[in-house]
Amino acid sequence: MARFLIVEARFYEHLNDMLIAGAREALENAGHQVEILTVPGALEVPGAIASAAESGRYEGFVALGVVIRGETFHFEIVAGESARGIMALTMDGLAVGNGILTVENEAQAIVRADPAQLNKGAGAAEAALALLAIREKFA
Protein backbone atom coordinates (compact mmCIF):
# COMPACT_ATOMS: atom_id res chain seq x y z
CA MET A 1 0.00 0.00 0.00
CA ALA A 2 1.39 3.37 -1.06
CA ARG A 3 0.52 6.84 0.17
CA PHE A 4 -0.68 9.32 -2.42
CA LEU A 5 -1.16 13.04 -2.07
CA ILE A 6 -3.77 14.75 -4.20
CA VAL A 7 -2.82 18.40 -4.62
CA GLU A 8 -5.78 20.40 -5.82
CA ALA A 9 -5.94 23.96 -7.08
CA ARG A 10 -9.21 24.92 -5.41
CA PHE A 11 -10.54 27.56 -7.77
CA TYR A 12 -13.69 25.91 -9.18
CA GLU A 13 -15.00 23.97 -6.20
CA HIS A 14 -17.78 22.03 -7.94
CA LEU A 15 -15.41 20.88 -10.70
CA ASN A 16 -12.65 19.98 -8.25
CA ASP A 17 -15.07 17.94 -6.18
CA MET A 18 -15.72 15.76 -9.24
CA LEU A 19 -12.01 15.44 -10.06
CA ILE A 20 -11.20 14.50 -6.47
CA ALA A 21 -13.98 11.92 -6.36
CA GLY A 22 -12.62 10.19 -9.45
CA ALA A 23 -8.99 10.30 -8.30
CA ARG A 24 -9.79 9.17 -4.76
CA GLU A 25 -11.87 6.24 -5.97
CA ALA A 26 -9.16 5.05 -8.38
CA LEU A 27 -6.44 5.22 -5.73
CA GLU A 28 -8.49 3.66 -2.93
CA ASN A 29 -9.76 0.88 -5.23
CA ALA A 30 -6.11 0.11 -5.95
CA GLY A 31 -5.54 -0.25 -2.20
CA HIS A 32 -3.70 2.98 -1.48
CA GLN A 33 -4.02 5.70 1.15
CA VAL A 34 -5.03 9.17 0.03
CA GLU A 35 -4.53 12.62 1.51
CA ILE A 36 -5.59 15.93 -0.01
CA LEU A 37 -3.76 19.24 0.04
CA THR A 38 -5.41 22.40 -1.26
CA VAL A 39 -3.52 25.26 -2.89
CA PRO A 40 -4.90 28.54 -4.27
CA GLY A 41 -4.30 27.91 -7.97
CA ALA A 42 -2.70 25.73 -10.62
CA LEU A 43 0.60 27.62 -10.50
CA GLU A 44 1.07 26.58 -6.88
CA VAL A 45 0.54 22.86 -7.51
CA PRO A 46 4.09 21.93 -8.62
CA GLY A 47 5.70 23.76 -5.70
CA ALA A 48 3.39 22.08 -3.23
CA ILE A 49 4.17 18.66 -4.70
CA ALA A 50 7.92 19.40 -4.55
CA SER A 51 7.63 20.37 -0.88
CA ALA A 52 5.55 17.29 -0.05
CA ALA A 53 8.00 15.05 -1.90
CA GLU A 54 10.84 16.33 0.25
CA SER A 55 8.99 15.07 3.32
CA GLY A 56 9.28 11.48 2.11
CA ARG A 57 5.73 10.77 3.27
CA TYR A 58 4.27 9.99 -0.17
CA GLU A 59 5.06 7.59 -2.95
CA GLY A 60 2.88 9.32 -5.55
CA PHE A 61 1.01 12.48 -6.35
CA VAL A 62 -2.03 13.59 -8.31
CA ALA A 63 -2.30 17.19 -9.51
CA LEU A 64 -5.88 18.39 -9.95
CA GLY A 65 -7.46 21.65 -10.97
CA VAL A 66 -9.25 23.48 -13.74
CA VAL A 67 -7.99 26.35 -15.87
CA ILE A 68 -10.66 27.91 -18.09
CA ARG A 69 -9.67 30.24 -20.91
CA GLY A 70 -10.53 33.84 -20.19
CA GLU A 71 -10.13 37.09 -22.06
CA THR A 72 -6.40 37.53 -21.40
CA PHE A 73 -3.12 35.72 -22.00
CA HIS A 74 -3.16 34.57 -18.35
CA PHE A 75 -4.71 31.24 -19.40
CA GLU A 76 -1.68 30.33 -21.50
CA ILE A 77 0.72 31.21 -18.70
CA VAL A 78 -1.13 29.24 -16.04
CA ALA A 79 -1.79 26.22 -18.27
CA GLY A 80 1.73 26.07 -19.67
CA GLU A 81 3.69 26.79 -16.52
CA SER A 82 1.72 24.42 -14.30
CA ALA A 83 2.20 21.65 -16.88
CA ARG A 84 5.91 22.50 -17.20
CA GLY A 85 6.35 22.34 -13.43
CA ILE A 86 4.59 19.00 -13.18
CA MET A 87 6.64 17.61 -16.07
CA ALA A 88 9.84 18.72 -14.35
CA LEU A 89 8.79 16.81 -11.24
CA THR A 90 8.15 13.65 -13.24
CA MET A 91 11.50 14.02 -14.99
CA ASP A 92 13.07 14.17 -11.52
CA GLY A 93 11.55 10.74 -10.83
CA LEU A 94 8.34 11.58 -8.99
CA ALA A 95 5.17 9.65 -9.80
CA VAL A 96 2.82 12.53 -10.65
CA GLY A 97 -0.43 12.23 -12.57
CA ASN A 98 -1.45 15.52 -14.17
CA GLY A 99 -5.19 16.11 -13.89
CA ILE A 100 -5.17 19.87 -14.33
CA LEU A 101 -7.81 20.47 -16.96
CA THR A 102 -7.19 23.25 -19.47
CA VAL A 103 -10.43 24.00 -21.26
CA GLU A 104 -12.27 26.66 -23.21
CA ASN A 105 -15.37 26.75 -21.02
CA GLU A 106 -17.14 25.25 -18.03
CA ALA A 107 -19.16 22.81 -20.15
CA GLN A 108 -15.94 21.19 -21.38
CA ALA A 109 -14.66 21.05 -17.81
CA ILE A 110 -17.79 19.30 -16.55
CA VAL A 111 -17.56 16.58 -19.20
CA ARG A 112 -13.91 15.95 -18.32
CA ALA A 113 -14.24 16.18 -14.53
CA ASP A 114 -17.45 14.19 -14.04
CA PRO A 115 -16.72 10.61 -12.89
CA ALA A 116 -19.74 9.46 -14.93
CA GLN A 117 -18.29 10.97 -18.12
CA LEU A 118 -14.57 11.29 -19.02
CA ASN A 119 -13.41 11.01 -15.37
CA LYS A 120 -10.07 12.77 -15.82
CA GLY A 121 -9.48 12.69 -12.05
CA ALA A 122 -9.32 8.90 -12.21
CA GLY A 123 -7.17 9.14 -15.33
CA ALA A 124 -4.65 11.29 -13.51
CA ALA A 125 -4.61 8.85 -10.58
CA GLU A 126 -4.08 5.94 -12.96
CA ALA A 127 -1.17 7.81 -14.57
CA ALA A 128 0.41 8.31 -11.14
CA LEU A 129 -0.06 4.61 -10.38
CA ALA A 130 1.58 3.67 -13.69
CA LEU A 131 4.54 5.97 -13.06
CA LEU A 132 4.97 4.55 -9.56
CA ALA A 133 5.04 1.03 -11.01
CA ILE A 134 7.67 2.10 -13.55
CA ARG A 135 9.74 3.76 -10.84
CA GLU A 136 9.59 0.63 -8.71
CA LYS A 137 10.54 -1.56 -11.68
CA PHE A 138 13.76 0.37 -12.21
CA ALA A 139 14.59 0.95 -8.53
- HEC sequence for 13-64: HHHHHHHHHHHHHHHHHCCCEEEEEEECCHHHHHHHHHHHHHHCCCCEEEEE
Of the residues 74, 81, 93, 133, only one is catalytic, namely: 74
Q: Is 64 annotated as a binding residue?
A: no
Q: How far apart are the first and last CA of the chain?
A: 17
DSSP 8-state symbol, 72:
S
Q: Is 96 annotated as a binding residue?
A: no
Q: Is 81 annotated as a binding residue?
A: no
Amino acid at position 138, single letter: F
Work out the number of other CB atoms within 10 angstroms of the CB of residue 28.
13
Backbone torsions φ then ψ of 67, nearest 5 degrees: -120, 115
Q: Is 44 annotated as a binding residue?
A: yes
Q: Is 68 annotated as a binding residue?
A: yes
Confirm whether 74 is a catalytic residue: yes
Q: Is 13 annotated as a binding residue?
A: no
Q: Is 78 annotated as a binding residue?
A: no
Mark the binding-site residues for (2S)-2-hydroxy-3-oxobutyl phosphate, compressed into ranges: 71-72, 112
Point out the residues that are catalytic.
Answer: 74
Mark the binding-site residues, compressed into ranges: 11, 42-44, 66-68, 71-72, 98, 112
Mark the binding-site residues for 5-amino-6-(D-ribitylamino)uracil, compressed into ranges: 11, 42-44, 66-68, 98
